[in-house]
Structure 1
């Protein structure tokens, strides 16, 4: 199924890029939570939902824009999580760091994931027991896949920390200050998970608002590359969170995504 999800992501990326070429910020709308949404979000999600219905009609799909419209299916032990255009702010600012995210969840764990950045021309994929990989994409065609994995250990001189370009909270900054940091970089969308998976960084903390569709595909790629996404109590992030006491369905707690580095066992003052 991973290859099928790759194909679907490529098609969604093509739909997004057709709109990106002629995008007018004046056509942007705002959702109830204040976040922006564009024609590209809707077009990509409609395509992905149609393709997933053909591929696996028995598996429910939780998709960002559908949920925003009140269309929330029942979720059993297996379901898809879809963010058709993660990084809408990056899309609007035209820096290219937006992605198509498709993940399969089983028993609360992201077991398959695809992250495609169509403007940059790179796609990441990974699955439980399958490892993680990356390939360049040119004119919609995938080049040779390359296996990726997290760094064996932080490089000499301290950690390479990657953080959100658009959502760097004060709490995240304070968390980062606990460690010896040699390099600090920012990136948009779920590319942060993928850069960890490819061994390009050690730590991605996110002490701020995210939803499950924001993280699931990147989390699947990172786990397949032998990394982890841990909540503030040091436990793996889980998916399919419904009827939460203190938050809405599918909302994530704060987390730290890591390679081999354990931020909760290795804090440095």
Structure 2
């Protein structure tokens, strides 16, 4: 199922959703707040509606777990089966603040693992995707066309690694983790783009020691894994996807560009 045609479809769908987001930004997004106090805009809703309609038409037998749909009380129990995870606008705070570091995210989960995913950054005109045959990135033209596509791969862990962390969130546990690793450089970037930077071999480690939702990470994680990276719990175990205790909450995690876990990670000791 996961072939170039499948990834092309996910990519086209993400690009179309990104165009909706940019239209809302151009006209001025109205911000409201959900019950958990997180912001939502018409861009989130329009992009998600487009993605849900496209997935339902092309893959009607595969359930979809999507952020805004779940907030509205519509969330299927997919167990350990195959399902899509969708975050139509990751980095809503960056979007509201006028930054360009927001993304459209679509991932396919199979056997609790993100086996394929697309991350699209509409304002940056870039897309990343990954599947069983590897990962790539492409520039996107003003008309949504693919201008160029380049294969990407993570890099071996350097003596002085580069860590990426969130622009919009200050996290005590994440900062504590970073303070405990060897000397390193730090890059600050929004949304799921942090996974993509590691996947491209431009950074080496992305720790996130807060509780996120699985749709926040699945697509970027899929790209990273396809590019040769890994995503682990802070204790070094696997990060798995699927409903647990009625929720699609995510594990705290550390993503690495190298497949060999360094000795300063708990599992490497």
Q: TM-score of the superposition, structure 2-length normalised?
A: 0.93
Taking a change above 3 Å as real, the CA distance of residues 169 and 264 of structure 1, as seen in their structure-2 partners, is farther
Are residue 106 (structure 1) and residue 110 (structure 2) matched?
Answer: yes
Are residue 35 (structure 1) and residue 33 (structure 2) matched?
Answer: no
Identify the residue that residue 61 of structure 1 maps to in structure 2: 64
Are residue 90 (structure 1) and residue 94 (structure 2) matched?
Answer: yes
Identify the residue that residue 128 of structure 2 maps to in structure 1: 124
Runs (5+) with no aligned partner, structure 1: none
How far residue 137 of structure 1 moved from its aligned partner, in angstroms, is: 0.9
Identify the residue that residue 182 of structure 2 maps to in structure 1: 180
Alpha-carbon contact 1:202-1:261 (below 8 Å) kept: no
Alpha-carbon contact 1:133-1:145 (below 8 Å) kept: yes
Alpha-carbon contact 2:228-2:259 (below 8 Å) kept: no
Q: How many residues align?
A: 259
Are residue 206 (structure 1) and residue 211 (structure 2) matched?
Answer: no
Are residue 135 (structure 1) and residue 138 (structure 2) matched?
Answer: yes
Where 1:17 maps in the other structure, the secondary structure is: helix
Where 2:148 maps in the other structure, the secondary structure is: coil
CA distance in 1, matches of 2:161, 2:259: 9
Taking a change above 3 Å as real, the CA distance of residues 174 and 233 of structure 1, as seen in their structure-2 partners, is same
- Equivalent residue for 2:253, pick from 251, 255, 265: 255
What do residues 213-234 of structure 1 show as CA deviations (whole Å, max 9, x unaligned)?
0000000000000101101221
Taking a change above 3 Å as real, the CA distance of residues 51 and 267 of structure 1, as seen in their structure-2 partners, is closer
Alpha-carbon contact 1:161-1:181 (below 8 Å) kept: no
Identify the residue that residue 265 of structure 1 maps to in structure 2: 263
How far residue 238 of structure 1 moved from its aligned partner, in angstroms, is: 0.4
For 1:215-234, list aligned pairs within 5 A.
Answer: 215-234=217-236
CA distance in 2, matches of 1:107, 1:267: 26
Q: Alpha carbon RMSD of aligned pairs, Å?
A: 1.5
CA distance in 2, matches of 1:214, 1:181: 28
Identify the residue that residue 22 of structure 1 maps to in structure 2: 27
What do residues 115-148 of structure 1 show as CA deviations (whole Å, max 9, x unaligned)?
0000011100000x21000001121211121000
CA distance in 2, matches of 1:2, 1:142: 13
Alpha-carbon contact 1:178-1:267 (below 8 Å) kept: no
Q: TM-score of the superposition, structure 1-length normalised?
A: 0.93
Identify the residue that residue 241 of structure 1 maps to in structure 2: 243
